[in-house]
Chains A and B, each alone.
Chain A
């Protein structure tokens, strides 16, 4: 179990590349008691949600392709792209060298527990997906 403030702090740290490298803006922070947390970023075309159900230890990283600036239906698979689905498309196209270079960028961050490690892994994968967005 993690406190909401701590979760948001870690997400902002690990996913800071969204702002610095891909010009996203952070648009939302949700803390629903200690049950659910969500941090959202947008860049005009896309919204990225990094949400966590605390009790169920369920982390979701989703890239939404916006429809006229609005979020699509959650169940619209063409516009609601879960990171696991993006990985299936992108990761096979990435060579070992690029993977290692990507990993190096996150070496400065420390991970203390399994949620940190999951967030770190997601951050690395998301960065690769965004770098190769043209292939999606």
Chain B
């Protein structure tokens, strides 16, 4: 176990536990106190620019983050954008202007219809075509979605959350993740958006 800058905790454990999107969080998956603590630290590190910087350093040498999770060039780029302020501007271009809302909610059709009411608003409509087995694609998509939302929350622009789709039979897993992220982010940064 290493304790680094900013209270960063990391473990390199080949047989480590994985969180819900199949990403190694540094624990051993046993569910004991230390394992649970590492899960919590991992969630916090998703918002930690220092962790992103360390991931990128690790990526430059190994192609993986500091916990051994494979990273694509796109992942590295997104993490860089969260560390280097100019990167944020680069990622979101002119729409990063304050006041232009980001829209999130359950159901992509529904979110895109809401976006049509807010000219210039930002939605996650630029997903890359991801490849691999279905569970790998799901995992990569979840990661991309999480990083995208983190960038949006950090951008300072308002986030309009249109909530659950009452007509939807089964809950959307991506929106569940977004809700959790927004809740945690607001705990760490009250009144951020």
A74 proximal to B (CB < 8 A):
yes
Which of B116, B126, B170, B172 lies in contact with A32, CB distance below 8 A? Answer: B126
Does B108 lie within 8 Å of A53, measured CB to CB? yes
If the complex has contacts A36-B108, A49-B109, are A58 and B141 also in contact, measured as CB distance less than 8 A?
no
Q: Which residues of B contact A49 (CB under 8 A)?
A: 109
A34 proximal to B (CB < 8 A):
yes
Which of A56, A62, A75 lies in contact with B172, CB distance below 8 A? Answer: A56
How many residues from B make CB contacts under 8 Å with A?
A: 27
A51 proximal to B (CB < 8 A):
yes
Q: Which residues of B contact A32 (CB under 8 A)?
A: 108, 124-127
If the complex has contacts A32-B125, A34-B130, A58-B172, are A1 and B113 also in contact, measured as CB distance less than 8 A?
no
Shortest Cβ gap from A7 to chain B (Å): 13
Shortest Cβ gap from A115 to chain B (Å): 13
Does B127 lie within 8 Å of A34, measured CB to CB? yes
B58 proximal to A (CB < 8 A):
no
B30 proximal to A (CB < 8 A):
no
Shortest Cβ gap from B2 to chain A (Å): 34
In the complex, what distance in Å separates the CA atom of A55 from the CA atom of B170?
Answer: 13
A38 proximal to B (CB < 8 A):
yes
Number of chain A interface residues as a range: 20 to 34
In the complex, what distance in Å separates the CA atom of A75 from the CA atom of B141?
Answer: 27
In the complex, what distance in Å separates the CA atom of A38 from the CA atom of B128?
Answer: 16
Q: What residue of chain B has the Cβ atom nearest to residue A51's Cβ?
A: B109
If the complex has contacts A32-B125, A36-B108, are A56 and B130 also in contact, measured as CB distance less than 8 A?
no
A71 proximal to B (CB < 8 A):
yes
In the complex, what distance in Å separates the CA atom of A36 from the CA atom of B110?
Answer: 12
In the complex, what distance in Å separates the CA atom of A73 from the CA atom of B109?
Answer: 12
Does A53 lie within 8 Å of B172, measured CB to CB? yes
Q: 0/1 per residue, A63-86, Cβ < 8 Å to B?
A: 000000001011100000010000
Q: What residue of chain A has the Cβ atom nearest to residue B117's Cβ?
A: A73
B92 proximal to A (CB < 8 A):
no
A33 proximal to B (CB < 8 A):
yes
A35 proximal to B (CB < 8 A):
yes
Residues of B107-143 whose CB lies within 8 A of A: 107-110, 112-114, 116, 124-130, 134, 137-138, 141
Which of A4, A35, A55, A60 lies in contact with B109, CB distance below 8 A? Answer: A60
Does A36 lie within 8 Å of B138, measured CB to CB? no
Does B116 lie within 8 Å of A35, measured CB to CB? no
A38-B109, A53-B108 known; 9 new pairs, CB 8 Å cut-off, are A30-B112, A34-B127, A36-B108, A55-B141, A55-B174, A58-B107, A58-B170, A62-B109, A71-B113
Question: 29 pairs across A/B with beta carbons < 8 Å?
Answer: A4-B129, A32-B127, A33-B126, A33-B127, A33-B128, A33-B129, A33-B130, A35-B108, A35-B127, A35-B141, A36-B108, A36-B127, A38-B109, A38-B112, A49-B109, A51-B109, A53-B108, A55-B137, A56-B172, A56-B173, A56-B174, A58-B168, A58-B170, A58-B172, A62-B109, A74-B110, A74-B113, A74-B114, A74-B165
